[in-house]
C-alpha cells in the first residue's frame, strides 16, 4: 500500500513548490467557474500527481486541476486519491498564509486518511484509523476534538475568511453565546479537529477536494462531518453529475443547541 510518512513528505514537497512562487510575483488567471488559478496551483498539482504515480501507481488520482477526461470512470472507483493542490487560492493571492495542500484517500465514499499542510504557517495535520496529529516546528502532538460546550458556555464557531453566507449568519444567531473565528481553506475543519473550535457550519458551496483531507483528520480526532440539515455522514463520489458537497456541519458530536 503506502507509508503515511511518504504522503506527508509529498505534501511538504508540494508546499515548497508553492512557497517558491508565493515569495515572488505571479500571474493570476480565471477558470471557467470564475475562480482564480495561479501557477502555484499547477506546480503543486504536478508535484503531487507525479509523486502519487510513483508511490501508489495502482490507485487513481482525482485533483481539482485534473482535466475533465481524467474524471471519467470515477464512479467505479472504490479507492482513489482526492487532492486539492492549493486550497485557499484567494488566501494565497492575499498572502495571508491561510492556504493548504490537501491529500486524501477515499475508500467506499469515506475519507480514511488525510494530510493537510499549511506551508506558510509551517503546520501539518494528518489522520487515519490510528489517530489524528499536528506537527508544528518539528514537534508532533496527538489532537482530539473538544467536549460540547456546557450550558451557558461560549460556542467557538469557525467561519470562512472569504465566504460567510447569509445561512451561516442565521445559523450562528440561533446558537447561545458565540465567538466567531474566521479562517481560510481547510484549516477551518482542522480547528475543530484540534479542539480549538466547537463548530464549523459550512452553509455554502464547496467541492469534494476542499474537504476530504481535513475530513479524515476530523474523524480521526473523534469528530464528525455531517450533511446539513439531514445530519447524515458526508460521503464522497456518490453523485455522477457533480463534485460539489451539500451543506455540512463539522462538530465533535450532535447537540440539541443546533440540531
* Binding-site positions for Mg(2+): 64, 84, 86-87, 210
Annotated binding site: 64, 84, 86-89, 210
Q: Which residues contact 97 (CB under 8 A, 6 or more apart)?
A: 91, 118, 120, 121
According to DSSP, the β-strands at 155-160 and 178-183 are: parallel
Grid coordinates given for 196? 480549538
Task: Give the Cβ contact number of residue 68 at 10 Å.
Answer: 6
Tell me the CA end-to-end span of the chain in Å, nearest whole number: 39
Annotated binding site for substrate: 64, 86-89, 210
Burial 82-106, CB ≥16 within 10 A → b, else e: bbbbbbbbbbbeeeebbbbbbbbbb
Strand partners, 81: 61, 105
Amino acid at each position: 500500500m503506502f507509508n503515511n510518512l511518504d504522503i506527508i513528505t509529498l505534501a511538504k514537497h508540494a508546499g515548497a513548490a508553492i512557497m517558491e512562487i508565493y515569495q515572488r510575483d505571479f500571474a493570476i488567471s480565471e477558470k471557467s467557474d470564475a475562480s482564480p488559478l495561479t501557477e502555484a496551483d499547477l506546480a503543486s498539482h504536478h508535484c503531487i500527481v507525479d509523486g502519487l504515480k510513483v508511490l501508489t501507481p495502482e490507485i487513481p488520482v482525482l485533483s481539482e486541476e485534473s482535466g475533465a477526461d481524467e474524471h471519467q470512470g470515477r464512479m467505479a472507483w472504490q479507492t482513489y486519491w482526492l487532492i486539492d493542490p492549493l486550497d485557499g487560492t484567494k488566501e494565497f493571492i492575499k498572502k495571508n498564509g491561510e492556504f493548504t495542500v490537501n491529500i486524501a484517500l477515499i475508500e467506499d465514499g469515506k475519507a480514511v486518511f488525510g494530510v493537510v499542510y499549511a506551508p506558510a504557517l509551517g503546520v501539518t495535520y494528518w489522520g487515519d484509523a490510528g489517530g489524528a496529529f499536528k506537527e508544528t516546528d518539528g514537534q508532533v502532538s496527538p489532537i482530539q476534538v473538544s467536549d460540547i460546550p456546557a450550558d451557558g458556555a461560549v460556542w467557538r464557531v469557525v467561519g470562512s475568511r472569504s465566504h460567510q453566507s447569509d445561512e451561516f449568519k442565521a445559523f450562528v444567531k440561533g446558537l447561545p453565546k458565540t465567538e466567531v473565528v474566521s479562517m481560510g481553506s481547510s484549516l477551518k475543519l482542522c480547528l475543530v479537529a484540534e479542539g480549538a473550535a466547537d463548530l464549523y457550519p459550512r452553509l455554502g458551496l464547496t467541492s469534494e477536494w476542499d474537504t476530504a483531507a481535513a475530513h479524515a483528520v476530523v474523524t480521526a480526532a473523534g469528530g464528525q462531518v455531517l450533511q446539513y440539515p439531514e445530519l447524515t455522514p458526508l460521503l464522497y463520489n456518490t453523485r455522477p453529475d457533480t463534485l460539489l458537497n451539500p451543506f455540512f456541519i463539522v462538530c465533535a458530536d450532535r447537540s440539541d443547541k443546533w440540531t
